[in-house]
Amino acid sequence: MADNVKSGIAPLAQAAQQVVVQQSPENEALLKPQGAPEFFIDLRPRLFKLPEYQNKEKINVRYPLLPPYAFAHVFWDEKQKELVYHIEEQILNDTEKELIKLIQLGLEEMINISFRYATKSDLILKYIEKNVQSIIAELGAKVSRESYLKIMYYIYRDFIGLNEMEPMINDPYIEDIECNGAGTPVYIVHRKYQNMRSNIIYEDQTKLIDFVEKLAQKTGRYVSYAKPLLDGSLPDGSRVNATYTSDVTTHGPTFTIRKFTKEPLTPINLISYQTTDPKIMAFVWLAIEHKFNIMAIGETASGKTTFLNALLQFVPSEARIVSIEDTREINLSHENWIPAVARVGFGIPNLLGKQYGEITLFDLLRESFRQNPDYVVVGEVRGKETYVLFQGMASGHASYSTFHAASVETLVRRLETPPINLPASLVDSLDIIISVVHLKDQNKNVRRMVALKEIIEVKQQVGTVDSNTLFEWEPIEDKYVYNGNSHVLAIISKRTGIPVKKLEDEMNIRAEVLAKLAEKGLAGYDEFTKIVNLYYKEPQTVISELGIKVKA
């Protein structure tokens, strides 16, 4: 293990409450699949629920990340008077540390790994293990099985994985991993216990520079002193933002890894978490079916993209979706889908400020309208691509995106002023705005949809908008209020000839369907998508199977 990174590794805590992992016979935590190498890392998902605590000072929980090699330990630090997060790994003795250094030097001379694809194949692990065994044999070292497995874990971690960050990457409860520079602790954002300081510290700036370079290799991007900013996605979908030099960030290189769930959240998940409720989702379902334009707004890490990704699961299976992002985050179980990602260029920018080979969001969005999409999705708009997106809305393409804004008025003002400068007539193409917020304090860590507003008219005066708040969150009772008189349902009624009362009845039926699915725990991604698609074709089948009684 590298000496210039402090991890505070200590004997595995005995006093901590052990979290029991729920296993099925075919998914034992330490059961090696047939044909696995001598050393085996089980990366299959683990299902466990962390206990609830009213008092933070009582928290003392330890749970597996990469068992039996790495565990997470969350406990109250009495000295610092704060909750902390420690990575606990098996301890190496001096002989094992020295042997690892020699093996690493040997591996660097013997193999050449494509880091971007290394974690996608067990063949790499088998190949490395053969080379490690050859090096140990050449050194004439006698190693016990226990020491060999420990050595292989650290070789795996540092060559295939993300070094000291590898256990954290495999923690399903971590949302963000944040390093603010050399000499400061790495912080994490925990889904259960919120912000915590970890025991990982990069003491040596050179070590931190090497790690940022490794992140760049994993994301398939380029970082250097000339181009010190990195923004990309890891093979598992996690988003990486990093800086390379102390010229940009004075404490040295930094990185932030935003982790996403391996399986995208569904509307049922959001209902179960009380981020929204069935009636809101039923209304959105109707709006998407009838191709209304929707934008999710909120602050950083408020859950905009997650909410948008969940809404897109209401798109009919035969419809064509084109999604455009600068860093891949949208994840859909939809066959008729073109996911497009912007590409960075290289070399000196031309007179227009564009590098050779660069493909921007603007380029992709402009071309997407020639691909005959039914639905256009832009992960986030913030520049000149916004104009093209709203042009698409105005020309009849159902469009969805996210935007950094705290309110509808702020959104409209930002759209109408530099650098975007949209005319009011284009902003008026937007139909529905969903506001989401992330609430964090000492007692809660929740995300809520605070309002769903329908745009009635955008006035010529900058920042002035006439809207209808259809749903809003009542924080005192933590419930959602439906205000009625939907502008969108009235438009659907004019288009289709269906009375508003019948549309409201349909919305209520769909709300019951979603509530029943949440009640039965049918939140699986593929399972939910199949039910939605079946409802489009045979609504009565879904209604009867769920035991919903429809009023005549």
**CA-closest candidate to residue 404, choices 451, 364, 436:** 436
Q: How far is CA 458 from CA 200, 337, 395, 402, 513, in A?
A: 51, 32, 17, 19, 35
φ, ψ at 195 (rounded to 5°): -70, 130
User: Which residues lie closer than 8 Å to 551 by C-beta, 6 or more apart?
Assistant: 505
- Decide: 64 and 21 in contact? Cβ < 8 Å: yes
**CA-closest candidate to residue 388, choices 354, 358, 411, 360:** 360
Instruction: Locate 359 and state its tokens.
Output: 């493909």
Instruction: Locate 369 and state its tokens.
Output: 């309208």
**0.85 cut: is pTM over it?**
no
DSSP 170-235: T-TTEEEEEE-STTSEEEEEETTTEEEEEEEEE--HHHHHHHHHHHHHHHT----SSS-EEEEE-T
Report the distance separating Cα 305 and Cα 546, nearest Å.
Answer: 30
DSSP 296-325: EEESTTSSHHHHHHHHGGGS-TTS-EEEEE
Report the distance separating Cα 254 and Cα 249, nearest Å.
Answer: 7
pLDDT in tens, the chain (552 residues): 445 555 544 444 445 666 544 433 333 333 444 444 478 887 776 667 888 888 889 999 999 999 999 999 999 999 999 999 999 999 999 999 999 999 999 988 876 554 444 445 567 888 888 889 999 999 998 899 999 999 999 999 998 899 999 999 999 999 999 999 999 999 999 988 989 999 999 999 999 999 999 999 999 888 988 889 999 999 888 999 999 988 888 888 999 999 987 788 999 999 999 999 999 999 999 999 999 999 999 998 899 999 999 999 999 999 999 999 988 889 888 999 999 998 877 767 776 667 777 888 888 998 998 898 999 999 999 888 899 899 999 988 999 999 999 999 999 999 999 989 999 999 999 999 999 999 877 667 789 999 999 999 999 888 789 999 999 999 999 999 999 999 999 999 999 999 999 999 999 999 999 999 999 988 888 899 999 999 999 999 999 999 998 876
Instruction: Locate 431 and state its tokens.
Output: 């139909």
How high is the pLDDT of residue 34? 42
What domains are there in the chain, each with its CATH number? 5-258 (3.30.450.380), 267-545 (3.40.50.300)
Report the distance separating Cα 39 and Cα 130, nearest Å.
Answer: 11
- Decide: 328 and 339 in contact? Cβ < 8 Å: yes
Amino acid in the structure at residue 265 = L
Please enumerate, as own/partner, the contacts of 337-342 that have beta carbons within 8 Å and a separation of 24 or more. Answer: 338/368, 338/371, 338/373, 340/364, 340/368
Question: H-type helices in 395-520, by residue range?
Answer: 408-416, 424-427, 487-496, 500-520
DSSP 225-275: SSS-EEEEE-TTS-EEEEE--TTTSTTS-EEEEE---SSPPPHHHHHHTTS
- Decide: 4 and 204 in contact? Cβ < 8 Å: yes
- Decide: 64 and 71 in contact? Cβ < 8 Å: yes
